Chain A
Amino acid sequence: MSTVNEVGQLPGRRPRNRAGAGLSGRETMLLLIPALLPIVILSVIPLVRGIYLGFTDSRAGLGVPTTFIGLDNFRALLDDELFVNSFKIGLIWSFAVTAIGFCFALGLALLLSQELKGRWLARSLALVPWAMPSVIVGIMWKLFFQPQAGILNEILRRLHLPGETTDWLSSFSWALPAVILVGVWAGMPQTTVALLAGLQSIQDELHEAAAVDGATAWQRFRTITLPQLKPVIIAITTLDFIWNFNSFGLVYVLTEGGPAGKTQLPMLFGYSQAFEYGEFGYAAALGSVMVLVISAVLVFYLWGRLKETR
Chain B
Amino acid sequence: MIVNSNPRRTRTAQYLLLFGYVVFLGFPLLWMLSMSFKGPRELVQLYPSFIPEDFTLENYRLALTEENHQFVRSAVNSLKVAILTALLTTMIGLPAAYVLARRKGVITRLGIGWILISQMFPLILIIIPLFLLLRDLKLTNSHIGLIVVYNVWALPFVLWMLYSYVRGIPPDLEEAATVDGATRLQILTGIIAPLLLPGIVVTTLFAFITAWNEFFFALVILESPDLTTLPLRLAQYVGIEGVVRFGPLAAAALLATIPSLILFTIIQRWLTRGLLSGAVKG
Contacts and interface: CB of A to CB of B under 8 A. Distances in A.
B220 A135 contact: no
A23 B249 CA distance: 54
A138 B72 CA distance: 21
Contact of B122 (A30, A34, A139, A267): A267
A286 B172 CA distance: 49
A49 B132 CA distance: 10
B133 A46 contact: yes
Given A36-B96, A132-B213, A284-B125, A107 B155 contact: no
A185 B279 CA distance: 24
A249 B216 contact: yes
Interface stretch (B13-21, B52-60, B63-71): B13-21
Interface string A131-158: 1111110111111101011110010010
A130 B136 CA distance: 35
Contact of B22 (A18, A125, A130, A150): A125
Contact of A146 (B107, B125, B129, B243): B243
A127 B48 contact: no
A217 B2 contact: yes
A119 interface: yes
What interface size band does chain B fall in? 35 or more
A111 B18 contact: yes
A133 B252 CA distance: 12
Interface of A: 9, 11-15, 18-23, 27-28, 30-32, 34-36, 38-39, 42-47, 49-51, 53, 58, 62, 104, 107-108, 111, 114, 116, 118-119, 121-122, 125-136, 138-144, 146, 148-151, 154, 157, 185, 188, 193-194, 197, 201, 211, 214-217, 232, 235, 239, 242, 245-246, 248-249, 252-253, 266-267, 270-271, 274-275, 280, 283-284, 286-288, 290-291, 294-295, 298
Given A216-B3, A248-B216, 12 more contacts: A15-B103, A20-B174, A20-B175, A34-B92, A107-B17, A128-B25, A143-B31, A144-B31, A146-B246, A193-B275, A245-B122, A249-B215
10 contacts: A11-B109, A13-B105, A38-B152, A118-B18, A139-B32, A144-B31, A149-B243, A216-B3, A232-B280, A249-B215
Closest 7 CB pairs of A and B: A20-B171, A287-B125, A35-B96, A131-B264, A133-B213, A31-B95, A46-B129
